Each structure stands twice: as C-alpha cells, then as structure tokens.
Structure 1
Amino acid sequence: MSDYYEILGVDKGASEDELKKVYRKLAMKYHPDRNSGEKEAEEKFKSISEAYSVLSDPEKRANYDRFGSAEGFRGAGFDPFGGQGFGGFGDVFDEVFGGFFGSSGRARAGRPAQGNDLRYDLDITLEESAAGAQKDIKVPRWKDCAECGATGSASRSKSTCPDCQGRGQIRFQQGFFSISKTCARCGGSGQYVTDPCDKCGGHGKVREPGTISVKIPPGVDTGTRMRMTGEGDSGMNGGPSGDLYIIISVLPHEHFNRDGPDIYLQVPLTFAQAALGAEIEVPTLEGAAKVKIPSGTQPGASFSLRGKGIMELGARHKGDQIVVVNLKVPKELSPRQKELIRELDELGDEHASITDKIKNMFAGS
C-alpha cells in the first residue's frame, strides 16, 4: 500500500514549496536520463512523480488525505493516472523544471521556445542619472553548449526514444478513452541522448557569465526599467533568446536630493549673511554657481537656479536646482559676540523677529 507522503519523505503538513523542493531533488536523482537502463530508478521516478502529481494539486490532495492511501483513493472510483505509465508525468516534471531538463534539453513537444527573461538591478550615481553613462555588467545566462552544438550529445547524435518509439507522444487507455501525453523521457522530440555531453551534462545548455555593455540615457530615475532585447537566456529548439530587463536604482547623494527633474540643495548661512545679504557659491551637477542672497533672508527661504536640474526621459528641458538656506548658529560665542547680540536685541521691535529666532536656536543648541 503506497503512501505518497512516505514516497516523498515529507509529513502530511508539508507546504507546496516543501513538496516542490523535495520533488525537484528526487526527480533529479532518479530521472531515467541519469540512470540509463536502471529499471529500479525508473520505477522510483514513476512513484515520486505520481506522488507529487497528487499532493501538489489541492483538490486531489484533499481527496487523498480523506481516503488515507493510494489504494483507498482509487477505490473511491477516481484514478488520477488510469494506467498512463511513465510518460504521463511529463506535465508534472515540466511544471517543476520549466521544461529545461532532460538529455535532449528541449522544450515540450520539441517546439521552438523563447528563452527566459532575466532581471538585473543596477545602481548608479545621481551624476550618472543626470548625464547618462555606459556601464559594463556581468550577467550569468543559459547559453547553447558549444561542445555539443546544443544537442546534449557528446557525438552530436541522438537515438530514437525507447519510451515513445520516436513519436514524442505516449498513448494510454483510460476507460473508453484513448489519451496521448507528451513523452517525459524525450520531452516530445522523439529522440533520446545515449552519450550525454560532459560539459553540459546532456542538457544542451551551459550557465556562464557574460559581459554586457549597457547605455544609460540621461534622465533615468529609481525604478526606470530598461529592456535589452535578446540578452536573456538562449531559446530552446532554435527559439529566440529572452530579454534582459535592467532595473535602475539611483544611489543617495551626499548633497543633493532629487524630486523629478528638480534637485534640492541645503546651504547654511551665517547670521550676517542672512541679515545683510551676500553672494555665495554653491555646487551644482555641472560645477560651481553663484547665488545672490538678499538682506533679511529668513531660514528656509529657497532660490532657484534655472536649468541646473535634470532632464527627465522624453523631456526637452532640464529642471531647476532649488537652493534652500538655513541659519548656521555658532555653538560657542566670545564675550564680545554676546555683547553685540545683546545690543542688537535692544535696538527695537523691528528686530524682534530675528532676535527671537536667534534665542530659540541658541536654546535648542
């Protein structure tokens, strides 16, 4: 009496992810392509595929748990496999391995299939996002094995699949119906590798790093997605390669904060500069620039440097650089400085607002 949980070596509370992880490990170990001619391994593969086929399906699993055993499950008048044999588990295997396993290394039914799309997270500086940049990145990708010409065979030749006799489909009877399923051994290609390539292990694919040059246009921001057509994993059976998606993340800057096309800069002013006015020099993304501070400038006032911001993607003009000024209050004062501030405080109500702010800042420091 078979127990699907025992076959997979999991308890009855195993999650879907746990089941998938265990099945992947066991299927890799007992797959017929890795155990050529070993009947025991083939039977073991059938058993674990059957168990996973039931336990990975919530409805089938609930029914199975209700009856308690494979025999009891079938005794209720429902047989999920109906004598379909080894070939009937191709869909289960492909679901877990994405059709990317087997000595043939082929997609289901041998049809051309596009390779997987890939994602790469790229960090850039604010300066690079403003001016654009050229970056070289290393991306590991599945590529056709050059050793075997992507055939998976050391001799670059294949034999007729013994399970489906070259048809790519296995036909089985379920009651009055005749049903065909994609052959699990050959993936529907009808061919089988007897001498797996040493380099790719019979997959026809090898995972290797590749250097890709990425041209970053001016104006990109955090979250910008760039698509590089054909730079993903190579396709199956002559299918096109997938795409590579570059996700941009702009690193924090020491001085500037970005808000769309505009950038902000906090600049400290002395009390004399704020009260009497001054011309100060501030950094921009393009070099230094001068800002005229009028007399009586209050903390938090802002001044715009037009065109010193960033040109967003698709825009024609750059944003502005916003300079926000703050009052720089000394933590230590000489006796003479204190005396001068007291004199200023006594000058009259017209200076009350400024001196009050100074007092409050001193109190806070």
Structure 2
Amino acid sequence: MADANISKNDLENVCQALGISTEGVKSDLVQRLRKHLKGKNRAFSHESEESYRSEGGNSNTQLLDDGLETTEMQNLSSQAKTLKELAYQSRKGNATGIPPTREQSSTPSIRRSEPTHAQTENKKKRPLPNEEDGDQDLISNQMLIEFKRLENAMININDKLNTVTAQVQDTRHKVEVNEVWQKHKFEKARDQHEYDALCKIGKELDLAMESRSTVEVVNHIDLAREIAANRIFTLRVAEEYGWDIASALPDTQDNWLKGKDSLIEKAKTLVEVKKTKRQRIYESSKSSNFGRWNDAEKFFRTNYRQKTNSFNKCYICNGLGHYANECPSDPNRESRKYHPNYQSKGYTTYYNKYKNYEDRNRDERKLD
C-alpha cells in the first residue's frame, strides 16, 4: 500500500470501525490512530502475560506436559507478535516441548501417549487464542507502519515545497532589483565603467537588505565592498600611471591592498607587450603595402603618363605638347567647317599680335 493511496475517507472508515472520533484533518486522524494502536498493544501484552501466568500455576500435570512451552511464553510475554505465533502453534498442535525429568515416586509411571483424565480436563479449560485477534494485530501493525511512511512522505513534500518557494521568491526579488538598477550606455568607456560599478554595488546592497539569513547578508556586503575597493584601486592607478596601465588591470583583484605593486607591474608588462605588438604590425604593413604602393606609383609615372602625353595633341593644329586653348596657329579650313564660331584663347592672342604687326608694317610702307 503506497502512501498516496491512503485518503482521508479511508482513515475515517478505520476510525469509525475502531470507535474513534473522525473530527479534524488528516493529520489529526493519523495521531488518534497511532495512540489507539499503542494503547491496544500494551493492553494485549498485559492480558496475555496474565493469562499465561495463571495457566502456569494450575497443576503439576500441566507442567509435566507443557513445561517448556509455558517457560518460553512467560519469557516472551513482552512481545505480542511472538506470543501470537506460539499460541497459534499450540492450537494446531505443532508446538514442541520437552518435559523436565520426573522424580521417582511410588506411583506407577504414566505414558505420554495415554493422558489422564486430569490432563484432558486442564487442556479443555485452557483458553485457546482467538484467530481474529491475531489478524487484527497484524492489520494494526501494518497500518502503523504505513502511517509512519505517510508522515515521512508528507514531511519531505513540505520541505521541498518550502525550498521551491524560497527559490521563486529569490528569483523574483533579483528581477525587481535589476529593474531598479537598469543598464545604460555611455559614449565614454570611463563613464560606462563608473556607472556599471555603481550599479553592481547598489544591487548587492539591495539583495543584502532582503536576505533571510545572516550568512547571505554578510556575503552580499563583502561583494559590494570588493567591487568598490577594486574601482578605487583602478582610479588610483589611472591617476598615477595613466589609463593605459589602468585598463590592463584585471577585473577582480584579490587582496588588492597587499598585492597592488605586483598588479601594477603585471599591467605595465601587458601594456609594453601590446605596444611592441602594434609596432611590429605597423612596420610589417608599411614594408609590404606601402612599398607596393610606391612601386606601382613609379611604374604608372614612367610608363602610363609617357604614353598619355603622346596623345595630348591639339585638335586645331594637330600639334603636340599643347591643348586647343593654347594653340598659337590659325585653324585650318576643315576645322572651320566643323567649328565655324570657335576661337581659342591662344589663337585670339596670336591673331591680335599678328594683326598689330601687319598694321604697323602697312603704315611704315605708306610713309615711305
């Protein structure tokens, strides 16, 4: 019978059968049944002890027949289960007893197989154990065991429920604390670090205020103190050595007051390693990428530009080395056909100079 199969209705039926009150909850019924069974076991052991004591002093004839059996039952009178088994065996005739040695007397000996009239009368007078009482004792003992199992199961269930309830409350409280101390992004890394450190300290203090045990309170306060101490140490290092070394410090510093010198040396070493690594990367990239760029630029200047310079022809005079806006010659007729209204800047200046020269020569000829 499992613990979960015992319901309150079954307990009420058992109490009614035993004449016990059925008022109260399930645990009250269990306690009443336990008290009733304990009292009944004591009464049964007391009655069996008195009955077997009275049987032990009836006659010498009965002691001759069942001397050993009576001695064993008197020694085990305090145990109800053993008495029941012995009584059941004696009723079936299976109990074995060795009678003590008889004293020699003048009366003739009586055989074991032929009992006398007094023996038969005493056996008739002996009260036989009731089979129903034995079955009821077994049922009562089994019920007592099952009740104990049920009680232990209920205690375990209550402990588990209390543990789960405490975990749910702690989780809910942590969520509420996170909502109070919300995350926020800053542009500067230094401001972000300051804000995050203050939020962590505030969270730990809130959790310490709502903790149930003193151990949890002390742990949260120690953690908040450690965060504040680490931040103070970082600010001191940044003020004295710069933020490059301060940023190289680990997030958590154990015994920061004692080992601050070693932490600073480690941070300096880490910064030097980073600087040398960056310098090597810069030199390698300069020798590879920038060198390739210089070679390509030289090749472009020496080859491509020389070829393009050969194509820099004036489309008016087809001359090399100048463009159309700097052309000094008169455009030919074919170009006039295609560009009748075009006069370049170079052509205009050249034409004006030539015209002035011709006018001066004409005037000199007239004077001559």
TM range (shorter): under 0.3
TM-score norm. by structure 2 comes to 0.22
More helix by share: 2
More strand by share: 1
Query: Which protein is bigger by CA-based radius of gyration?
Result: 2
